[in-house]
Structure formats: C-alpha cells, structure tokens
Structure 1
Amino acid sequence: MQTELNKVVTALQEFYARETFLLDRDVGERALTHRLAVEFEKHFPGWEIDCEFDRLGDRTLRLPHGSTVSTDDHLAKSIYPDIVVHQRAIPNNLLAVEVRKSANHQPLEHDRHKLRALTDPHVWFAYWIGVLLTLGKTHVTMSEVYTSGVLDQALSGWFAQRLKDAGLSAG
C-alpha cells in the first residue's frame, strides 16, 4: 500500500507545482479534482483514472443499505468518489480519493463515511485503499487513509509523514 501512496504523494507534488493558477484563484473542488486526476494518470500505468465514477460494468455503485447519501446524488443512493484508480471492465478497484478544499466548512463525516464504505471488504466493489485529502492553497492541510472499511491510523500517520517529508504538509 505504501507504494501506491507514494504515487499519490508524487502526483500531489506535481499538482502543487503546476496548478498554482487554480489554487490562487480558489476554483471549485471539481476543477482541482480533475487536475489532480491528470497527475494520477502519469503514475498509475495500466489503471484507468476517473472522476466521479459511479459504475462497475453496467451496475451503479451504491452505498450499503442504511448509509447516508449526498444531496448532489441524482438517485439519492449512488455515490461518486472524487477520483478512482481502477480497471473499469474487470472490475478491479485500487484507490478511491475524496478531495476537499481547506475552505470547505462542511462536516468531514460524509467523505469519511464514503471511504469507509468504499473500502469495506464485505461489499462487492471494495477499493483496496481510500484517501481523504484536504487541499490548501500551498499544501495538504489534512489527510487520512482508509483500508478494510476503517480509518487506518498507522498508514494515515505514515502517509502524513511522507507528505511532510515531501514539503506538502505544514504539520
């Protein structure tokens, strides 16, 4: 998992080096997510990178029964991870990423819930790793890593240190 997370760190370094125009102008999260996904494509050969992808083959990706849902959801039950690293046709799901701007004052719980659900090994579409990133104008202000349906404290700490070592985190 550290290998894949190192790729995320490298993509973030390139994103922050290239996208100062967007970051300085406080553009929307979807624009930032798209540009970050472009950087991901360089580091995950053999994988497809998609934004707000809600399918597995012909099936719509849905949270498990009883889950909270997003108000921007056209069916009120499907989910749209901000960025996914996967193989569409198989399906083979490696990484789900939720991105937030540091200026976003909405509660983190919805994003956390999605990542717990997306990495839950008991669901048929489980992603191997989930990452929550809060992006500031010059660095990542918060990150969390999810595996097996829970916040992975050890991996989150390791990832936060990698971000710090790469100059991508103030903490």
Structure 2
Amino acid sequence: MKINKTLRVNAPAARVWEILYTNYGDACDWASTVNESKERMVAGSEYVGRTCSTVFGDVSEIIDRVDEDSMELQYHLDDTPFIMKAATAKWKVEPLSTNTSSVTIDLDLTLATVPGLLMGWMIKPKMRKDIFRTMEDLKYYIETGKQSEAKVKSDAKYFRKKGKEAA
C-alpha cells in the first residue's frame, strides 16, 4: 500500500525541517496518530530511531537516510504492530518562498498477510485517513504553534484509556 501526500505550509522550510528531523523524537507533540514518542539510540547506525505509541499500536522506527541540504528524511519501522509487516516513510521539505514551503510524505507499507486478507478493506482507508490527518496536524502545529483539535482529542482518549488500564 502506498500513500503519498503533499501539503503547502505557511512557514519557512527550515521550520518544517526542524519539526520533522531536528525534533524527530517529539512526533507526539503534534501528530494525532502518535500519543507518546521518544528518540532512541540505534546500535551500529549513524542515525537515531524513535519509539512511538500510536493509534495502530506501538511502533519502533530507525532513520535510514538523511540529506539535510535537500531536506529529505527516510526511516523504516523495525518493530511493527501485528497488522503491519513492513513500512518505510520518506519525507521531503521544499522551500516555495521565504515563508512558504511544501512537505511531502511517501509511505510504503505492507500489511501482515492474515490481517491484510481479512481486514484490508477496512484497514487501508483508515490508514490513509490517519496519514492525511497527520499531515494536517503537522501543518496546523507549524503554522499556529498549537496542537490541532484532533491531536488534543486523541491524547485525551489515549491517556484516559491508559489511566484505566494502569489502575
């Protein structure tokens, strides 16, 4: 399954890049699909990884490639929820003017065989919707400095449920 989305952001490309790469471990600050995240060291890699608690389950990612000059970032999931077999995300930020940029995500994911066969018809549209929502969350966060309404609601639901499970 491939998902590609580009958005225009009313902010300098350097600001978008800062959120996506410099603050890589802080995706939980803006993405409604990521409720908790933290950067982690990866043995044998020149890059870091991150762990995330997401709407799809817990995931672990490792950066594969970074080109800071062209503002391109690629990472893959090295630990996936049961519904996924593999996933790779490529992000690209491009300046359009001094205070406007575009940000693109190219996501390539493979569903696990059994969930894909049984529930693919339901999972694929949900994932596409969630990735598009995540892009809108990023745009909103960069342009306003605040979390989107979807992000606030997602965190409230996640932490309320987590509190009940911990009790």
- Do Structure 1 and Structure 2 share a fold, with TM-score over 0.5? no
Where relative contact order (Cα < 8 A, 6+ residues apart) is larger, the structure is 2
Give the strand-richer structure, 1 or 2: 2
TM-score normalised over the length of structure 2: 0.37
Give the helix-richer structure, 1 or 2: 2
